[in-house]
Structure 1
Amino acid sequence: MPELKLAGLETSRSGLPAWFDVAIGSSILQYGQRLAARQLLVNTLGNIAVRSHCAYWQREVIYTKHRGVSLEECGLEHLAVLDMQSDELLHGRFRPSLGHQMHREIMRCRADVNATVHLHPNEVISFFAVMQWREMEYVSNDTALVMGKPPCILGEGVNVELDVSAIGRCASDTNCIVMPSHGITCFGRDLSEAFHRAVAFTAEISRLITSQYLSAATGKSVVYASDEEVRQMYELGEQVIYGGMHK
């Protein structure tokens, strides 16, 4: 813990410390509302986390909402800022939920990841509860472009919110962790990328469910993208989606 810097603890009329990055806080609220508009928030447990370097504390910090409030209800006063390395609460009335350790561990394992989005989408939980897939298949020709890497579908009962040890074994090879019967955590270089991956994956699951309904109704088989097509989509995603803008 560095020596207390009283000047840096001065608050504005909003009650936030002078070093608090309002732009980051506002982006969390904005994307929370976008998730709510898509009906992807169903309780207080989904969350967004954003990593930033704080010049005042001279360290990396994580902005996220504290426990007990939904992203849909969240205001700047509900945000917490924690030290990336020590997990010390630097700002906020309350700490985030225990699931914060998952967000933090993903960022610790992936230097390129600066934002995570954790959701409990109805379609995703229902799909994996029934289908019990361990590898992802696609019916669209765009989702794998957005995802960039194969999702990591964990075994039944594995909860990386409670035990982060599994994250180190899969974080480098994926941008989306699927916990069957629980939800998904998507990550990216910024919040926009993490958001796009979360909504793209959820949309693909909806397409899979619809495809299987139609298959059962018509007797026709579902046509999935081939392994080679999916591999190419993962490889071409950076160029097609972003035009190399992140490089």
Structure 2
Amino acid sequence: MTVPGTAEKTAEKTARKKVVVFDYGFGNVRSAERALARVGAEVEITRDYDKAMNADGLLVPGVGAFAACMRGLREARGDWVIERRLAGGRPVMGICVGMQILFARGIEHGVETEGLEEWPGTVGPLQADVVPHMGWNTVQAPAGSELFAGLDPDARFYFVHSYAVHDWSMETHNPVMDAPKVTWATHGKPFVAAVENGALWATQFHPEKSGDAGAQLLTNWIGTL
């Protein structure tokens, strides 16, 4: 497991980075703010376009229904901010439903909603006997993961969700680009727990609620900004 205080010690060696937690009405923005401040970031909660565009990092939280989050994000111009930042190679990180909306579509109660289509794939009901998936779980990170660097393979992260992506189909044949690194977790059928894809990273679990392991993971992200 991560040694207590590791994230804080690492943060002391890292220049303070400006991170905007995008406030579109669907996320635990205060928890995210505290977690990022803990690891040394200068944090602001806002939906201001210029501030979101100019920050070193943009964090997009999300709770609730896929369709409601997409509606709120579009109303706050968050879809435009994410697209513009990624077009310029500016880091974006999604959490929970903030990760799910990055996929092509979500299906809840038989209703299909278009996502941001940064990644192919459909967010659908968890295929497990017990739903929601609520509590601590381990993940299987790929070799070379920057997001999980320095974390014990048995580190546990906090999940609370009823929907997930069960299939990953995106590949890259561009020799200059690395293929996305996909992390999996298992609750019933395996599902996508995190993705690292250039400037776009995301987690299905809540790093801001995952103690020292989550703090180390956020430290890793801040270190790439």
Q: TM-score band, normalised by the shorter chain?
A: 0.3 to 0.5
The structure that is helix-richer by fraction is 1
The structure that is strand-richer by fraction is 2
Q: Larger Rg: 1 or 2?
A: 1
Relative to the length of structure 1, the TM-score reads 0.31
Relative to the length of structure 2, the TM-score reads 0.33
